Amino acid sequence: MGVRVLIVDDALFMRNMLKDIFVKAGHEVVGEAANGEEAISRYAELKPDLVTMDIVMPIKSGIEALSEIRSADPEACVVMCSALGQDALVVEAVQAGAKDFIVKPFKEERVLDVVRRVLGN
């Protein structure tokens, strides 16, 4: 069974790359969002199985969005997408309830591995 994914990133490039990885693996990308605020409303409307969430985004950051999503749905499964050198932000995100994180540049294997693991739990 494929997983219903919501991809959140302000860069279209990143969204497309992730989308290709997920679709190729048989998952369904049910929606995309380009900032934190959009992410919150898309999440409420789509109720995806998994969210990939960029951290640094305009309007509302990924961590703020994560907190709001988790307070509305404590079961929400959110994986953070970070760049190298954002360690402190990742720690903050983990404390805010992120299930795991992937680091750019993404490796296909690594992304799918994380998906399997966080949803397997």
Partner 1 sequence: MDMSKYQELFLSETREHLRRMSQLTIALEQNPSDREGIDALFREAHSIKGMAASMGYERTTALSHHLEDFLDSFRSSGSVPEAAVDRLLAGIDLLEGLLGSIEAGQPEQDVDAFIAAGTDLLGEEPATESESEPGAAPEAVGSTEKVDPAAGSGRSFKVMFELAENTPAPAARALLALEALKTLGRIDSCRPTEEEMKQGFAVRQLAVWLQSEHAEEVIREKVGAMPDIARISFEADRRQEDRPRLDEDVRTVRVRTALLDKFVNLTGEMITNRYMLQSATRSRDWDDVETGLNLLSRLVTDLHYHVLQVRMTPLDGITSNLPRLVRDQARKCGKQVKLEITGGEVELDRAILEDLADPLVHMVRNAIDHGIEEEGTIRVKAWREKDLALIEVADDGRGIDPSSVRKRLSEKNLLTSAQIKALTERELFQWICYPGFSTAAEVTETSGRGVGMDVVKAAVENLGGMLEIHSKRDEGSRFLMKMPLSIAIMKVLLVECAGQTLGIPVTRVLRTLDIRSEEVQLSGRQRIYPLDDEVIPLYPLNELLHLPTNGAAVVHLVITEVQGRKVGLIVERLTGQLEAFVKAMAKPLNRVAGISGATITGEGKIIFILDPQLLFEAEADQFSLSDVEESI
> What does the binding site for partner 1 look like in residue numbers (CB under 8 A)?
82, 84, 86-88, 90-91, 93-95, 99-101, 103, 110, 113-114, 117, 121
57-60 own/partner pairs: CB under 8 Å, 24+ apart: 57/8, 57/9, 57/10, 58/10, 59/35, 60/35, 60/36
Structure tokens at 80: 């953070």
Q: Shortest gap between Cβ of 46 and partner 1 (angstroms)?
A: 25
User: Quick one: 67 or 82, whose CB is closer to partner 1?
Assistant: 82
Query: Residue 37 or residue 64: which is nearer to partner 1 going by CB?
Result: 64
> Tokens 């760049």 sit at which residue?
83
Output the smallest distance, CB 96 to partner 1, in A: 11
By beta-carbon proximity to partner 1, the closer residue of 34 and 63 is: 63
| Rg (alpha carbons) of the chain, rounded to whole number | 13
Task: Kindly state the smallest distance separating residue 89's Cβ from partner 1, in Å.
Answer: 8
The pair of structure tokens assigned to 14 is: 């990143």
